[in-house]
Amino acid sequence: MIVIEKEELLHIIKEYVTQVHKQVPISLKLCLDWNKFRYSSVEDVWYFDPKNQWEFVVNYTLFNLYDMPVIKYISFNQIKSMIAKEYPDMEDIEFSVTVKNDDKLRLTTSKEKVLELIDIKTMIHHNDQSELNKDDIKELIDLTLVLGDREWFDELVNNHKEMLN
């Protein structure tokens, strides 16, 4: 499973909007309706359940042909299709939209500030059970050494040892 945090998700959206409209958006921000958040006393967080996949999540502003700003909206379904282009081998996408119920939230006085506190995680499920041969694993081990990823290195070395036995 791949997890995309809020900043990376907004970056993917910005790149997509720029590619489609041939211009960088003036602004790009969350536009969730706070009234649709529910409180979980167990986790002490507010969460948004994206049951309605056509619910608008993000808005962005562009200039039209007459140099007038125009606001456009993006839904969860549209975000899913953007992510599908970035990760073509994905099987499913889940969104987790939460706000911690802490002092920052309690002291917030405006809708814009609340939207800044929202945390969106995107979980991309994919088939990671692909079979690798010995040469593939050796190449990946070399890559982990370059990247300095010790955890992945250990996992690949263990897989390589199992293949040799």
Report the pLDDT value the prediction gives residue 49, as an integer from 0 to 100: 83
Is 155 in the same domain as 111?
no
Give residue 27's pLDDT band: very low, low, confident or very high (50, 70, 90). very high
pLDDT digits (tens, 9 = 90+) for 80-128: 999 998 888 888 999 999 999 999 998 988 888 888 899 999 999 987 6
Give residue 129's pLDDT band: very low, low, confident or very high (50, 70, 90). low
CA dist 31 and 53 (Å) reads: 14
Is 39 in the same domain as 109?
yes
Report the pLDDT value the prediction gives residue 147, as an integer from 0 to 100: 87
Report the pLDDT value the prediction gives residue 124, as an integer from 0 to 100: 92
Is 110 in the same domain as 148?
no
Angle, helices 134-147 vs 150-164, to 10°: value is 160
Is 90 in the same domain as 40?
yes
The dihedral through the CA atoms of 122, 123, 125, 129 has a sign that is positive
Closest among 6, 8, 156, 164 to 95, alpha carbons compared = 6
Is 110 in the same domain as 31?
yes
Q: Could you tell me the residue range of the domain that residue 49 belongs to? A: 2-126
Whole-prediction pTM value?
A: 0.73
Is 7 in the same domain as 25?
yes
Q: Give percent of the chain with pLDDT exceeding 70.
A: 98
Tell me the average pLDDT across 53-77: 92
Task: Report residue 92 as tokens.
Answer: 């499913």
Q: Give percent of the chain with pLDDT exceeding 90.
A: 53
CA–CA distances in Å: residue 144 to residues 41, 113, 127, 130, 154 = 41, 40, 21, 18, 9
Is 105 in the same domain as 150?
no
CA–CA distances in Å: residue 113 to residues 1, 28, 55, 109 = 31, 15, 21, 7
Which residue did the predictor score with more confidence, 100 or 130?
Answer: 100
- Residue 69 confidence (pLDDT) above 90: yes
Q: Do 58 and 28 contact (CB within 8 A), yes or no?
A: yes
Is 77 in the same domain as 98?
yes
Report the pLDDT value the prediction gives residue 128, as an integer from 0 to 100: 65
Task: Report residue 30 as tokens.
Answer: 């969350």
- Residue 130 confidence (pLDDT) above 80: no
3-class SS of residue 54: coil
Domain count, the chain: 2
